Amino acid sequence: MARLAVPIAAVAAFVYLNTLPAKFAFDDNFAVLSNGDILHPGQPLWKLFVHDFWGQDIRSAGSHKSYRPVAIICMRWQRQIGDLMQPSKRLLGRPQSPDPMVFHACNLLLHALMTLMVYRLTEDLASMRKGLWQSPNWSTSPQRQPAEALSYEDWLCSSTDTEAAISALLFAVHPVHTEAVAGVVGQAELLSALLSGCAFLLYCRAVYTTQAVSIRMDNALAPGLAGKLPGNKQNAGQMRHWLLLVASMALIWASALTKEIGITAVVLMAATDLLLVTPLPPSTTCAEILSSTPQGTKKGPDVRQAASHVQLKHNHSLQSPVERGSSGQSSPTPSQGMAGALIAMAGGLRLLRLCILAVVVGMYVGLRTFLAGDHLVRIYRKVENPIPFIGPLPRVLTTGFLHAHYATMLLLPTRLSADWSFACVPPLEHLIDPRNLATVFLYAALVWAMAHPTFEILHSVHGATKTAFRQQRLQRAVSASRMGSQGMQERSQGIDEGSQGSKEGCHGKGAANLHGRWRLTVIAGLILAPFLPASNVLFYVGTFVAERLLYVPSVGVCMLAAHVITSAGHLASSPPGESRSGLQQWTMRKRVALGFVAILVLGWSCQTFLRNWDWVDEETLFRAANKVCPDSAKVQLNLGILERRHLNWRAALKNFRRAQVIEPGYCDPTYWIGLTLINEGRNTQTGIEKLEEAVGCHWTVGPAMQALSQVYQPTPGGTPGRPPGDTRINPEVLQRWARVLLRPGVDRVGLACDLLEQAAYTKALAGSNVKPLNTGTMSACTLRFQNTSMAASSQNVEELFRIQRCVRARASLMEEIKEHGTKSDGAKIAIAAYLQQAADCRHAADDASTTSSTGVKDEQSPFGGAMRSSPAHMLLIHHVQKADAEDAWLQREWGEVLALEDRLPEAARHFQAAGMLLAQQISSLAQGQPIKLSASHHALPHGAPAQHLQAHVEACQAAFSRLVRVAEVTGEQEMYCQSQKMLCDSYQLAASVLTGQAASLAHTEAQQCYHAVQRLAMCQ
């Protein structure tokens, strides 16, 4: 094997050497660069087993349901290897992006190994087709023949090498493999195929281990040899059988967990077990066949006749007593009956193996269903797979032509593209479409290739059944005590028919039947079964055409092609007889076949090598795809994105609009058109409208929202709808943005209400004589509060009730301020009432799962960046705080708002001011002096002055505690020491003004605080 296989593997690696400098392209960006399971080495390993191939939770509605944890683990290792190869970035602490060369090198290695696997698979399957299975562990061959026979024995045993070499060469350089090998995403295909091949080889060895033990037992228990076979030989053989079978099933699971197509290898195993095991005894060797050659002749036809002769002898050993009696044989000995029992046991093991294969498939499907909930892809679109979206007749016609298109790429790979999305291959609408001829031709070829061996198998079964009935009739005739003339005729007829059957077997009908079985095994196990999951027959898949899906089916095609070429060119046959013309014809056919193989391999090698350059980066990839699929909406979209990178706005818009014309329901171009119009700066308003339209599409709502948040952000340059340089927030823009947020599918109700409030208060504070909640500004928000079904579908009820309470409280306060001014008693009461629930109302609605530097849960701002406080709350508190700067409670609340906004230095000043103001008021209250009442004093409990004092003390300590927290976050040592001492002073002040247990507790806290400050070296 190594003599030919290793150079072929080197060829497979050589034609893909130019993929090593390639970058990540197309789907690689999603599978690697956007996959946290690969990028983050600290990601727990168990999460890989609950995520799909793209790093999403496999049970989520947005998952592609591609469960491939083994592939992800391998890519994760490659990422770590790449990190080790970049020590400079690691030492500098810079974030490292994965090294694509490591991934491409692994793909190249896997393809070379898979080429070796194809060589071995072809060799083994061809040996089965010839009725031979070579293995030194099973061989019990006799002594070698003379020298002249030895050379021919070597030729016979290596007669499959040529076929295997051609098959592996075709597989190594086939251009359709470019996507699988040059694209990192295709690594799952390569590794799954390799593991499946290993599993199949182990399964075959398990099968033939059992067969070899049975035949050995038959030989050892023959008369005169009993007792010469070790007693543990049978047990050892069965143990090896089960170990090999378990290892094979483990590899099947590993293959299926690498790529779902790996589970289809069980079809190849079952077909091989049923159709190809075993036409000759496994212990029969080439030397044994040669020893059976009539008159020592070494010609090809005689060798085949000898193989049939050996097969006939083996079949005769398995005959029933009646069959042997009809041929004049004696009754079987007890040892021969035991051998028959062992062989029957081997047949029982076959049934058990097939049951195990079925159980393995069922367990795999059950595991996927348990983990994913639904193991089918549900998130495809017409642009990706148009078949589910067309009528019944076009669906059938298009699916058939899809299969013909795949077959064309396997046999004539001249038109290849990285993307075949709609409408690169237009759907077939009518029966008169000429493309239907390709479908008819494909299915006719499949029927011819599979029906012929199937009929032969059925004919054999029918013949065996007829023979069994004849044997029963003969047995009854022989056992009769008196046979009349009719009985003699039946016996004579039975003997004649049995003899005729034996002659037919000796003339090689079994060999022809075996060739048909081999062809059926290759087509069903290596072509149809691996292709079936992607065929859109059993279920719809997320892609219409993908070249990488042909990686495994191409193995079977290469095997069939190699067999046809070898047979047509007599490449594995011996020279003919003494005829000079026959020898010349044999030589010419051989040269033509070898020349055809050389031209085909050289042409495919050049095509593959040149096509690899298309995968160097995304730009070359999609420009190459545009030459093959100019009518693909996705190709046009990606070309437009590439033009944007070069700031070619007009060219980008042309590509986006072309994609929109190809598939009007494809919403991605709408988003990119809007973004490009805004970037171009010539038609911003139309661009905003396009982005708002894209928000209504499930596939673009996320990026469209992000883009609009940047568009609506108030910047020093102005806001949409304002003249340049006008930095005021435009209420109309806020209302428009809020209405976008209230759309179905977006349902950011709380955030929209914040913006609508901000727009209403901006109008009110600008002098508009309106009440915020009585205008149309807040109508959309209040409508959501009234519509409980819409509210329940957008957020949980508790959050909506919180928003509703805050909106009404702020509205009441704003209306009071608008009517009577900030310093009126009514306004002060409203301010005090609002401050009581300020802790609930200061945070923005629709809280995100992020946290600010102050440890408070925050929200991503619609204006870009981190806006963690409610805009309406911020606007309102700022307005009333400016009107009464000596209100300590307002100073503290304004500090809280600034802290949520990460404006920590400003927040520190307001916390300090609040604490100092409260300390002064505490001293005045303790001395019985009156203090200036502010708006927040209306929130204090009515009662004794002691209760007022307690409230001031608690507020003072809270203000200085927040000051300490801000100092910790900012890391300013001087501020931290000063704030700690202020906090200690507040405890000491509380101890001096309070009485009883409260004073004692405050004194203890003050002592502990002072001791803690003294222990700090930085505060000395």
Q: Which of 242-256, 416-430, 950-964 has the lowest mean pLDDT?
A: 950-964
Q: 990 versus 470: which is more confidently predicted? A: 990
pTM score: 0.74
CB 989 within 8 A of CB 956: yes
Measure Cα distances from 106 to 16, 36, 64, 86, 345 in Å.
11, 20, 25, 17, 44
With a cut of 90, say whether residue 394 has pLDDT above it. yes
- Over residues 803-858, the pLDDT tens digits come to 777 877 887 787 777 777 777 777 777 887 888 877 778 776 653 333 333 333 33
CB 926 within 8 A of CB 894: no
pLDDT at 269: 96
Q: Which of 267-271, 321-325, 657-661 has the lowest mean pLDDT?
A: 321-325
- Cα-based angle 979, 980, 986 (whole degrees, multiple of 5): 90
- Over residues 885-935, the pLDDT tens digits come to 888 888 888 888 888 888 888 888 988 888 898 888 888 877 777 776 665
CB 15 within 8 A of CB 172: yes
- Over residues 711-760, the pLDDT tens digits come to 876 543 344 444 443 445 677 777 788 888 777 767 677 777 777 777 77
Which strand (E) or helix (H) includes residue 457? helix 436-479
Which strand (E) or helix (H) includes residue 858? strand 857-858
Q: How far apart are CA 597 and CA 840, in angstroms?
A: 78
Across 683-717, b (16+ Cβ under 10 Å) vs e yields ebeebbebbbbbbbbeebbebbbebbbebbebeee
> What's the one-letter identity of residue 30?
F
pLDDT at 702: 86
For every residue of 146-180, which 3-state class applies, written as one string? CHHHHHHHHHHHCCCHHHHHHHHHHHHHCHHHHHH
Q: How far apart are CA 182 and CA 718, in angstroms?
A: 48
Q: How far apart are CA 423 and CA 427, in angstroms?
A: 8
With a cut of 80, say whether residue 360 has pLDDT above it. yes
- Beta strands 857-858; 850-851: pairing state: antiparallel
Asked whether the bond before 423 is cis by omega within 30 degrees of 0, the reply is yes
Q: Which residues pair with 57 in a beta bridge?
A: 51
Helix residue ranges, H only, 663-796: 668-680, 684-695, 701-711, 731-741, 749-765, 779-786, 788-794
Measure Cα distances from 909 to 105, 731, 852, 906, 919 in Å.
59, 31, 19, 5, 15
Q: Which of 54-63, 700-709, 751-760, 893-902 has the lowest mean pLDDT?
A: 751-760
| DSSP one-letter string for 218-280 | HHHTSTTTTT-S-TTHHHHHHHHHHHHHHHHHHHHHHHHTT-GGGGGHHHHHHHHHHHTS-SS
Distance of alpha carbon 91 from the chain centroid: 33
- Cα-based angle 933, 938, 940 (whole degrees, multiple of 5): 100
Q: How far apart are CA 638 and CA 681, in angstroms?
A: 22
pLDDT at 827: 78
The domain limits of the chain are 456-478+485-496, 619-711, 735-883
Q: How far apart are CA 927 and CA 920, in angstroms?
A: 11
Which strand (E) or helix (H) includes residue 857? strand 857-858
Q: How far apart are CA 97 and CA 949, in angstroms?
A: 60
pLDDT at 851: 33
With a cut of 80, say whether residue 178 has pLDDT above it. yes
CB 773 within 8 A of CB 782: yes
CB 280 within 8 A of CB 208: no
CB 390 within 8 A of CB 603: no
Q: How far apart are CA 704 and CA 674, in angstroms?
A: 9
Q: Which CATH architecture has domain 619-711?
A: Alpha Horseshoe (1.25)
- Cα-based angle 39, 41, 42 (whole degrees, multiple of 5): 125
**Which span out of 683-692, 746-755, 938-947 was modeled with the highest average pLDDT?**
683-692
CB 330 within 8 A of CB 218: no
**186: phi > 0 → left, psi -120 to 50 → alpha, else beta; which?**
alpha
CB 191 within 8 A of CB 110: yes
Query: How big is the chain by its Cα radius of gyration, in Å?
Result: 42
Burial classification of residue 345, based on how many CB atoms lie within 10 Å of its CB (0-12 exposed, 13-18 middle, 19 or more buried): middle
Measure Cα distances from 957 to 203, 950, 1006 in Å.
77, 11, 11
**Percent of the chain scoring above 70 in pLDDT:** 70
Helix residue ranges, H only, 262-333: 265-275, 286-291, 300-317, 321-326
Asked whether the bond before 264 is cis by omega within 30 degrees of 0, the reply is no
pLDDT at 400: 96
- Over residues 91-126, the pLDDT tens digits come to 444 556 888 999 999 999 999 999 999 999 999 998
pLDDT at 502: 43
pLDDT at 501: 45
pLDDT at 437: 96
For every residue of 998-1010, which 3-state class applies, written as one string? HHHHHHHHHHHHH
